[in-house]
Amino acid sequence: MTVWIETELCNGCKRCIKACPYGAVELKDGKAHILEHCTSCGACVEVCKEKAILTDVEPRAIPDFKDRKGVWVFAEQRNGTLNRVSHELLGKAQALAADLGQEVSAVLLGHQVSGLAKILFDYGADNVYLAQHRALKDYRTIAYTKVFEGLIMEFRPNILLMGATHTGRDLGPRVSRRVGVGLTADCTELAIDPEEGILLQTRPAFGGNVMATIANRYSRPQMATVRPGVMEALKKKGNKGNVIKYKVSLTEKEIGTKVLEQFKEKKKEVSLSSARVIVAAGRGVGTEEGMKSLFSLAKAFGGEVAGTRIIVEEGWLPVERQVGQTGQTVRPEIYIACGISGAIQHRAGMMGSRYIIAINKDAGAPIFQVADWGIVGDLHQVVPELTKAISQSKRK
Ligand SMILES: Cc1cc2nc3c(=O)[nH]c(=O)nc-3n(C[C@H](O)[C@H](O)[C@H](O)COP(=O)(O)OP(=O)(O)OC[C@H]3O[C@@H](n4cnc5c(N)ncnc54)[C@H](O)[C@@H]3O)c2cc1C
């Protein structure tokens, strides 16, 4: 497999040099020159307008996926209660399916969970694939993977979405490996490419410094996980659908694991996901003492206090109150960012907020680019004033 240059056609435009991900093209006497460590990936061939780069590598054929239909969502439930991320994914699935002219299906696994189908229809499922078995009562990796594999092989979906929960993060990679496809984890945006009709899966990459869009041309289903709180649940009024019962055959021997006991870690419940107002602290608060005025403001609003990773690293807030790429994703009515610069990793968790108010003493702070209202000033003066004003307006 080789790549070579027809030097008389090359005009030295350097497009191939920029396109080569391996730095394996250089300019020599005004003409492109392929270096020894070229991998024959073909990136340079595609960008050469002069057709001066030739290769004997056959382009990879895109398989025919006409029989792959439907946007599937894993309807994650525990003890008969659906995880809210399933509702959110059904909301996104409705939009994706509409763009493709295909149907939305929820995949519900468990024991005596058929009653949940109605809720899944309410949130936009056209079909519910229902797999019920005593062995599916509690989530167990091998049992759920086997059932998913069978469903995918038989019903051949186009797209499969799962929540990036503890369960989804365990199940997704297993299923993708079983059916021989890729998986894009922790997507923050999903869309259909209007030309190719494939799923564009956007997620932070390189430590969150860039947003990468990943697409899969060569295998199906296209699989992605999405963290809770990222997508919006959309109720579909009066929606009715079909329940497709899937016969499961499982033995305890093949599953190999048993759930002996379930216990919940005892910790103070933090309801960032349901808070209507969040007052968020950034490094600008300066000290732990500086956090106090933010708690007063949150109290005046009846809201919650959250923070950036810096605040958690300082130990001024527990980790479950961190907002961002490696923390919580929130969508309150009002998000008040106090002394927060607005790094991309923080924005990843709060951009779904209805209104963003930023308080920062640096008028050039990036947070102002995404804020609906901005107050340039010292938070130690602004926050107490704001608290006073809110408390007074309540008394009136
Ligand atoms: C892989 C990875 C994952 C990450 N995940 C997350 C994540 O989940 N969440 C997260 O938040 N970060 C995350 N980060 C860190 C992120 O890159 C930023 O470092 C962090 O968000 C910055 O926090 P900050 O805004 O509190 O601090 P800074 O960036 O230091 O900003 C402080 C701001 O306060 C302002 N200020 C200072 N004093 C005052 C004052 N008296 N009044 C008003 N304003 C004042 C300053 O002008 C400045 O804009 C991650 C980073 C990486 C590499």
Ligand 1: atom nearest CA of 359 is 43
264 falls within a domain: no
Residues 233 and 110 placed together within one structural domain of the fold: yes
Residues 171 and 250 in one domain: yes
Above 80 in pLDDT, residue 381?
yes
The reply to whether 80 and 174 lie within a common domain is yes
Q: Tell me the mean pLDDT in the region 97-119.
A: 98
Which pLDDT value is given to residue 267?
A: 64
pLDDT surpassing 80 at residue 2: yes
Q: How far is the CA of 367 from the centre of ligand 1 (A)?
A: 10
Strands 373-376, 355-360: parallel, antiparallel or unpaired by DSSP?
parallel
Residue 140 domain flag: yes
Q: How far is the CA of 344 from the centre of ligand 1 (A)?
A: 9
pLDDT tens digits for 31-46?
999 999 999 988 999 8
pLDDT beyond 90 at 384: yes
Whether 176 and 251 share a structural domain: yes
For residue range 16-29, list pLDDT tens digits in order. 999 998 999 999 99
Residues 168 and 290 in one domain: no
Pocket test for ligand 1, best of 321, 346, 367 (most atoms within 8 A of CB): 346
Domain span at residue 338?
A: 277-395
Is there a single domain that holds both residue 44 and residue 76? no
* Per-residue pLDDT, 209: 72
User: What's the whole-number average pLDDT of the chain?
Assistant: 94
Tell me, what's the pLDDT at 228? Answer: 86
Decide if pLDDT at 396 tops 80. Answer: no
**Please, what is the Cα angle at 160 between 154 and 165, to 5 degrees?**
125
> 136: which residues sit within 8 A by CB, 6+ positions away?
109, 110, 111, 143, 144, 147, 248, 250
1 has pLDDT over 70: no
Count of domains forming the chain: 3
* pLDDT at residue 177 in the model: 97
Distances (CA, A) of 87 to 42, 55, 192, 231: 42, 48, 20, 9
Q: Is residue 66 part of a domain?
A: no
Work out which ligand 1 atom sits closest to the CA atom of 308. Answer: 11
Retrieve residue 86's tokens: 């399933």
Question: What pLDDT is recorded for position 173?
Answer: 98
Is the pLDDT at 130 greater than 80? The verdict is yes
Looking at per-residue pLDDT, the higher value among 257 and 271 belongs to 257
Q: What is the mean pLDDT of residues 171-184?
A: 97
Same domain, 241 and 370: no
- Segment 138-144 shows an average pLDDT of 97
**Per-residue pLDDT at 274:** 84
**Same domain assignment for residues 20 and 150:** no
CA of residue 319 to ligand 1 center, whole Å: 15
51 shares its domain with 76: no
**Statement: residue 123 has pLDDT above 70:** yes
Ligand 1 centroid from CA 53, angstroms:
46
Determine if ligand 1 sits within 6 Å of the CB of residue 322. Answer: yes
pLDDT in tens, 182-195: 999 999 999 999 99
How many residues would you count in the chain?
396
CA 230 to ligand 1 center in whole angstroms: 20
118/91 same-domain check: yes
Q: Percentage of the chain surpassing pLDDT 70?
A: 98
Side-chain-side CA neighbours of 369 within 13 Å: the count stands at 8
Same-domain check for residues 212 and 92: yes
- pLDDT category of residue 206 using cuts at 50, 70 and 90: confident
> What digits encode the pLDDT tens for the residues 66-94?
999 999 999 999 999 999 999 999 999 99
Whether the CB-CB separation of 184 and 201 falls below 8 Å is answered with yes
Cβ of 110 less than 6 Å from ligand 1: no
CATH number at residue 325: 3.40.50.1220
Say yes or no to pLDDT of 273 above 90.
no
CA–chain centroid gap for 61, Å, is: 29
pLDDT at 269: 66
